[in-house]
Amino acid sequence: MKKITLIFVFLFLSCSHDETLSFGSLFQDKMVLQQDEYVSIWGQAKPGSQITIETDWGERKVISANDNSEWSTKIKTLKADLKPHELSIKSLTNKIIIKDILFGEVWFASGQSNMGWQMGNKITEVQGAKDEIKAADFKHIRYFRATGNDSFTPNKNVNGSWRVCSPKTVSEFSAVAYFFAKELFNNLQVPIGIIHGTWRMGHPAEAYAMPELLEKVKGFEKINERIKISLYPNTPYNMWLSSHSYVELNQLINDDNNTTFLSDENKKFIEKKYNDSNWEILSLKEIN
């Protein structure tokens, strides 16, 4: 009897709650999925575990997580109907449900400070912002703000959450993205999802393209190989860069003398009469 009990306890523990089961960070309550399309969904689970994906609009998929704990598939969405829907994933020991999903038009917004300019900006106010914010009651406009993170390789997840457009939330929205979404909604009368990814000084559109497709564009040949080389710590440029301390731009701006963060050796480089005639000219290829 003791042996049977021990075996039962072992089996119970081995089948305990699957803490690894998850959706990718974009897939959350209140999200918008592209209407009438096969959309990709993904996440993580225990390697080899079987996962069942079900929706309240009749889609059902059974897949398995790979050796890297990753799973992905595509599901067909409906045409926009302005109704909230549900999507779930289930393993043997866990189930996650995403609620209040809308089908509509999903757009990606990125750029520099102009795109990052918020509706509630107090320093440089958006024209007519007070009235716009008061009237911004659009439950079918949803906004996901992905927080910035520099990376030479694709990240599995980003930080952020879906927000329903309302007078309480719209102050955090990109003004450009909000007015664009509002115009689309008023004309199309379908839910609008905005994924906002502005980061620092902006991104070129190529940064969001798949490398294998980007390599077919003139000027981006062998881009994967070039990125890998740029990560090598022993290249001349990276060795030079690592020898210097990292300083945020606002630290330099707030430094009255503009020299606090410069070593004695480097201070000479900002002198107006500094002679750089003996500097060598290097191409980017030589640096990398």
Residue 183 has pLDDT above 70, yes or no: yes
Tell me the fold of 20-200: Immunoglobulin-like (2.60.40)
Kindly give, in sequence order, each residue whose CB lies less than 8 Å from that of residue 245, ignoring residues fewer than 6 positions away: 261
**Residue closest to 288 by CA, chosen among 249, 242, 223, 230:** 230
pLDDT score at 8: 44
Name the residue type at position 257. N
Kindly give, in sequence order, each residue whose CB lies less than 8 Å from that of residue 141, ignoring residues fewer than 6 positions away: 164, 165, 178, 181, 182, 185, 191, 192, 194
> Where in the sequence of the chain do the CATH 2.60.40.10 domains occur?
20-200
pLDDT score at 249: 65
For residue 86, name the pLDDT band (cuts at 50, 70, 90).
very high
pLDDT score at 72: 96
Q: Which of 134-138, 219-223, 256-260, 271-275 has the lowest mean pLDDT?
A: 256-260
- Per-residue pLDDT of 124-174, as tens digits, reads 899 999 999 999 999 999 999 998 777 767 777 888 999 999 999 999 999
Residue 264 has pLDDT above 70, yes or no: yes
Q: Which of 143-147, 205-209, 273-277 has the lowest mean pLDDT?
A: 205-209
Residue 99 has pLDDT above 80, yes or no: yes
For residue 6, name the pLDDT band (cuts at 50, 70, 90).
very low
Mean pLDDT for 218-244 is 85
Q: Taking all residues of the chain, what is their mean pLDDT, rounded to a whole number?
A: 86
The CB-side HSE value for 57 (13 A sphere, CA atoms) comes to: 19
pLDDT score at 262: 67
Residues 192, 184: contact at Cβ < 8 Å?
A: yes
pLDDT score at 14: 45
**Residue closest to 114 by CA, chosen among 179, 170, 161:** 179
Rg (CA), the chain: 25
Pairing between β-strand 70-76 and β-strand 138-145 as defined by DSSP bridges:
unpaired
More confident residue, 195 or 273: 195
pLDDT score at 43: 96
Name the residue type at position 177. A
More confident residue, 276 or 17: 276
More confident residue, 19 or 162: 162
Q: Which of 134-138, 186-190, 244-248 has the lowest mean pLDDT?
A: 244-248
Residue 36, phi-psi category: left (phi > 0), alpha (psi -120 to 50), beta (remainder): left
pLDDT score at 10: 41
User: Which pTM value belongs to this model?
Assistant: 0.75
Q: Which of 185-194, 197-206, 242-251 has the lowest mean pLDDT?
A: 242-251
